[in-house]
A and B are shown apart, each in its own frame.
Chain A
Amino acid sequence: MTTLLWLTLPYVAFTSFVVGHIWRYRHDQFGWTTRSSQSHEGRLLRLGSPLFHFGLLAVLGGHVLGIGVPASWTAAVGVSGEAYHLMSVSFGTLSGLATVAGLAILLYRRFTVTAVRKATTTTDKIMYLLLSTAILTGMLNTLGSNLIGGGYDYRATVSPWFRSLFTLSPQPELMVGIPLSFQIHALVVLVLLAGWPYTRLVHVFSAPVGYLVRPYVVYRTRDVAHPGSRRYARAWETAPPRR
């Protein structure tokens, strides 16, 4: 069971994440979009969406620090365990609360505004369930364990386990016996990662940073000189004739 949950599942999820994105990028450019619903409703969105997205970006940054960077490294640059803990709890709580508040507004909007509700697909619903669970358990970990429960040092268990997956020397046993909410959080995130490329979450990978350096007006020539330059044929096109 330990191996299945903390060794097999993560690798399956990562594989699905990577391969799924490549597959979708190659075959579904047309479906690669934010599928924004702002044209249906703007007032609530303008409140909830920035809260949620900026909060989530901060949360992501926190995860990179907390899970990606070993405790020995932060100690080496002179950040004590207490200082790190204080930072992680305060920033984590702040960004987590922004995310949860944003999520609450967006979910409220999604289920009460008829036009937005009707634009919600089954995939969306599953994705929202996973995403909400991941965010709420994460919030619970930060608030419940650290503030109320006296703190749990995930940097001794979860973080090394996660990194061990990438150094290809997995240590699934590290995850045994950690608090249940941490386990659930990790599992839900893994499932979310596995499903990521098949949902609208792909829009994360089209963050348009290139816009900052691009010329304002884009010119393109008609694609007549290289009709075969598209790597993948349109479904309705037949093979070129042999002459």
Chain B
Amino acid sequence: MKLMAQLAMVMNLDKCIGCHTCSVTCKQAWTNRSGVEYAWFNNVETRPGQGYPRQYQDQQRWKGGWTLTKRGRLTLRSGSRFKRLLNIFANPDLPEVADYYEPWTYDYDNLLSAPQMDTTPVARPISLITGEDTKITWGANWDDDLGGGPEQIGRDPVLAKVSDKVKLEFQQTFMFYLPRICEHCLNPSCAASCPSGAIYKRSEDGIVLVDQDKCRGWRQCVTGCPYKKIYFNHKTGKAEKCTFCYPRVEVGIPTVCAETCVGRLRYIGVVFYDADAVLAAASVRDDKDLYPSQLGVFLNPHDPRVVAEAERAGISQEWIDAAQASPIYKLIVDYQVALPLHPEYRTMPMVWYIPPLSPMVDALSSTGHDGEDPGNLFGAIDALRIPVEYLAELFTAGDVGPVRASLQRLAAMRAHMRQVNLGEPVDPEIAESVRLTTDEIEAMYRLLAIAKYEHRYVIPSAAGSDAHRLDALATGCSLDSDGGPGMTAFDVMDDKFHLTQQPADGNGVAAPADKERRINLLNWDGKSTNGLFAATPAHRPHTNGAGNGAANEAATEPESAAEPIR
């Protein structure tokens, strides 16, 4: 056994409202540059829909991920190593920028500089690739909210796998959003495709990264990734991808997409797994066995043998604690409500999804039924066969069993919590019917519905102290004692980022007790630090300028009142 730790994410699709905040903040943080204008490390696509890039799930065409040879050995779908090298001069399966969309801007200058004339000047679209006038024909979210109708949505490769009936009925029954980032797979086919060995998986946290110095631009990884989450920077000639915001998670704070998620639907945590078991798990014959076989790779962090093995592997206590408190492990293994995206690609993805129940509740309510009655809801999950089959094509290689089980647990949770909240007698059979106890179902409810920041993101920051030490090596100064004349900005940032210790910034927890002590950058005049740093209560009236004073104190009260129902 080779125990390794992996940072993983779970997204609760029930809560996604498709606001694209994650995409926008990610773009601002990582791909707001020329060369990757068309790249969205995080994107939100409407399902059913073609996705981004268009029809990326059609692996007959794009040849992403792994497949089994006739003898049952795992091999890249795009071919053997030798075949890939023969194709190195022109990759036959490479999506072009047009398959994503041609990025554009507008000729805003014309609005100001146009001479006086009878008509209003317009800002014409200009291609960011050629710099010439362009016609906008596609975008990263062209079919958002089923835009384009059946003509566009009908080209969804996942939809094509579900029976023909769907095409006629789905618009009345079903639509949801699917936010996607890099899956940081346990068996990454992008890394396996890279001829230069520039893509690697970090052994500490499993984050998959591209070494920009070692990448030679052979662009095989773009084909190799079945999720099409590797992007070719056409300016630098190097591959780029989602980094799981490693500079942030290294100091214990969540990725930008998770941090800014309006619906608070993302969870980040540590999962232990057996790296030696990955290959066998990814090589099982039947696609439908891939989800259970991936579950079998994860190790129970509460098992003393696993803890001992983790210690033997040099994993710190902080990481072991994080693995035991991991919301990911709970959602994936304990409650089994989260499912992997396209396990049939055999990459062992590590960003999992809780399938959406809300569309079924809505469908039920709109027919005049009680959408949260357990009997009605359980019946609806089976009756709304098409959405379940569609979800199964996304999450379990077409096996409706696990999807139905997950939806039933979510339905049972709703029904149970309604009884609790309305003060009705609790029917223990609801929980039993989905093989959970009432305590478990309430714990699951707290995690899904009201978990605070520190419960949604359990990210060990052990690496952070190391980073601080190293940074001090590179940029420190001998006068850098705490509060000394050479105290660097890093110390402040470190203070700010080390949320698990002493948060100086309100970002640390959802309702921090010391909210009034947060750093207020609005007061910074660039000369003095008055009013900028955490004020001690004693002289707060003197230093606290606009903003963070009394109003926050008042705000603390109702928030603590809204604590979880226990």
Contact = CB atoms under 8 A, between A and B. Distances in A.
A114 B215 CA distance: 26
Given A39-B97, A41-B96, 6 more contacts: A38-B96, A42-B96, A203-B216, A206-B216, A218-B191, A219-B201
B227 to A, nearest CB: 16
A203 B217 contact: yes
Contact of B94 (A39, A210, A242): A39
A237 B212 CA distance: 18
A32 B216 contact: yes
B131 interface: yes
Contact of B85 (A212, A221, A241): A212
A43 to B, nearest CB: 9
B219 interface: yes
B492 interface: no
Most buried by B among A52, A211, A219, A240: A211
Contact of B130 (A29, A114, A206, A238): A114
A178 interface: no
Interface stretch (B192-200, B424-432, B451-459): B192-200
B104 interface: no
A227 B470 contact: yes
Contacts of A238: 474-475
Given A41-B96, A224-B466, A35 B132 contact: no
A37 interface: yes
Contacts of B92: 46
A164 interface: no
B191 A220 contact: no
Contacts of A222: 202, 204, 463
Contact of A227 (B191, B200, B474): B474
B518 to A, nearest CB: 30
A187 B85 CA distance: 33
Interface in B101-138: 129-132
A30 interface: yes
A63 interface: no
Interface residues of A, number: 47
B555 interface: no
Contacts of B467: 224
B286 interface: no
Most buried by B among A39, A49, A118, A243: A39
B232 A216 contact: no
A15 interface: no
A36 B416 CA distance: 57
B476 A241 contact: yes
A144 B477 CA distance: 71
Interface string A5-31: 000000000000000000000000110
Interface stretch (B233-241, B256-264, B335-343, B401-409): B233-241
A118 B102 CA distance: 15
A208 B216 contact: yes
A71 interface: no
- Secondary structure of the A side of the interface? loop
Nearest to A119: B234
A102 B85 CA distance: 19
A34 B234 contact: no
Contact of A50 (B82, B89, B238, B463): B89
30 contacts: A30-B213, A33-B216, A33-B238, A34-B216, A35-B237, A36-B217, A36-B218, A36-B237, A38-B90, A39-B94, A39-B95, A39-B96, A42-B90, A45-B90, A49-B90, A115-B97, A119-B235, A210-B197, A211-B195, A212-B85, A217-B187, A219-B202, A220-B202, A222-B463, A224-B463, A227-B470, A227-B474, A237-B474, A238-B474, A242-B478
Contact of B236 (A33, A38, A50): A33
A206 B89 contact: no
A226 to B, nearest CB: 10
A33 B478 CA distance: 41
B195 A208 contact: yes
A91 interface: no
Contacts of A46: 90, 92
Most buried by B among A49, A212, A216, A227: A216
Contacts of A227: 470, 473-474
Contacts of B172: none
B286 to A, nearest CB: 22
A35 B217 CA distance: 6
A54 interface: yes
Contacts of B97: 39-40, 115
A36 B232 contact: yes
